[in-house]
A and B are shown apart, each in its own frame.
Chain A
Amino acid sequence: MCLAIPVKVEEILEDDMAVVNIGGVKKEISVALIDDLNIGDYVIMHVGYALNKIDPEEAENTLSLFKEMGVLEQALADHGVQ
């Protein structure tokens, strides 16, 4: 469910609205559910509303998690085997 997509905030407007950039496509959406919004922030957009901010540090952490060695490689590394 819940088709939602990370979008970049380009302009903050009145009445809790903002212009966001979705990979080159621009759209005006509501940011009424977000506090402390800044230009350049990424938010998750669902049905024309920003639901949450994306945490860039956590995003990096997750990518690092993917790259981690598997149990076998770790075991081999622990035993000094390449």
Chain B
Amino acid sequence: MKYVDEYRDGKMARHIAEKINQSVKPDKTYHFMEFCGGHTHAIFRYGIPDLLPKNVKMIHGPGCPVCILPIPRIDAAIELAEKHQVILCSYGDMMRVPGSKRRSLLKAKADGADIRMVYSCADALAIAKDNPDKQVVFFAIGFETTTPPTALIIQQAQKQQVNNFSVFCNHVLTPSAITTILESPEVRDMGVVPLDGFIGPAHVSTVIGSQPYEYFAEEYQKPVVIAGFEPLDVLQAILMLIEQVNAGKAEVENEFTRAVTDQGNIKAKHLVADIFEMRAEFEWRGLGLVPYSGLRIKPAYQDYDAEKRFPLTQSQGTDHKACECPKILRGVKTPKDCKLFGTKCTPDNPIGSCMVSSEGACAAYYSYGRHLQSDKA
């Protein structure tokens, strides 16, 4: 596959890894956070930690919109389907995530709720048109990459007067989350891990551009390298970060130039600004309340806002006491440090947010990294 296979070449990977080995200063430990769950997934799937020198450590960030969705929001989605009898359309990722009492969309579906998995939000709008006498709600999740499609269907719903359709909006924003990691008092209390730089998200950046990251580089004096999702992109970005750290630089660099520009997709940004506005704060599972990190539908489109259309209960679901996700998301602890990891908490039976999605740090480590325990290894 073009623009994919060339960026997965094993031989080239070893060449870049060799360059990394030559670049690191032997007396320094480098800590880099890959913000995005897709990068976490790629790092484990391709065994990148095996290629890095011992003094380069990757810390897995909270950029997984599935992992950070708090239990009350999942409960609300289930409530829409069960109590309000809507046809609830959801991306596959959310189907197995447990809310309160270990109930998930998949379980609710098995119990009779009309919950349908869709690949695209456009399918949800089509379902609404095909079922004019039922209410249809689209369960919207995702970062800035996934938001423009949702904006488009709300716009279309209004133009075409599809009045049995609404959106339950849980879109979140990347920059605010990065700020929280660097800034919040809890991080200071729990113990800060020195972060030397960030690998910036790939596809979020195709939409928002590289410009928003300049704030972090400047304010916190940390280099940011925006990287594509393929393993060679990630390795190259790590090399670029090491070189910046060595040179004492704190700039925004773009490794993913084939898809990311300074300004991003202006059309998409304008459309999102048209339809959505920022919530003052939004709860992130594992991080608590994060200011200006979530979007809601503007009043002009409130007819398509499921939260305005349906009265929803505010459930009080909380996470397990022994769950270390809050610390893992900030890079203070690793999955192995959590007592529940691999025993009570597994991908089949996820307890905390890091295990819930296949991209969470714990899930990625469990599924891809456990082989290190085997007799053979």
Q: Point out residues on A near B: beta carbons under 8 Å.
A: 1-6, 8, 22-23, 29-30, 32-35, 42, 44, 46-49, 51-52, 54-56, 58-59, 61-63, 65-72
Q: Kindly provide the distance from the CB of B221 to the nearest chain A CB, expressed in whole angstroms.
A: 24
Q: Does B206 contact A (CB under 8 A)?
A: yes
Supposing A51-B265, A54-B3, A70-B19 touch, asked if A30 and B152 sit within 8 A by C-beta, the answer is yes
B residues contacting A by CB (< 8 A) are 1-4, 6-7, 12, 15-16, 18-19, 22-23, 36-38, 63-65, 91, 119-123, 142-143, 145-146, 148-149, 152, 201-204, 206-207, 228-229, 232-233, 236, 255-260, 265, 267-268, 271, 359
A8 and B271 CA atoms in complex are apart in Å by 24
Q: A49-B122, A62-B258, A65-B255 are in contact. List 13 more A-B contacts (CB 8 A).
A: A1-B37, A4-B145, A29-B120, A35-B267, A48-B119, A48-B123, A59-B3, A62-B228, A63-B7, A66-B232, A67-B15, A70-B19, A71-B19
Q: How far apart sit A63 and B36, CA to CA, in the bound complex (Å)?
A: 23
> Which A residue sits closest to B119, measured CB to CB?
A48
Which residue in B16, B123, B145, B204 is a CB contact (below 8 Å) of A66? B16
Picked from B122, B236, B258, the residue with its CB within 8 Å of the CB of A55 is B258
Shortest distance from the beta carbon of A25 to any chain B beta carbon, whole Å: 10
28 sample A-B contacts, Cβ–Cβ < 8 Å, listed by A number:
A1-B142, A1-B204, A1-B359, A2-B142, A2-B146, A2-B201, A2-B203, A4-B203, A4-B229, A5-B4, A30-B152, A33-B152, A33-B265, A33-B267, A44-B206, A47-B120, A47-B121, A48-B119, A48-B123, A48-B149, A52-B207, A52-B259, A54-B3, A55-B257, A65-B236, A68-B19, A69-B19, A72-B22
In Å, the complex CA distance between A5 and B203 comes to 10
Distance (Å) between the CB of B124 and the closest chain A CB? Answer: 11
Q: Select B258's contact among A59, A66, A69, beta carbons within 8 Å.
A: A59
CA distance A56 to B3 in the complex (A): 9
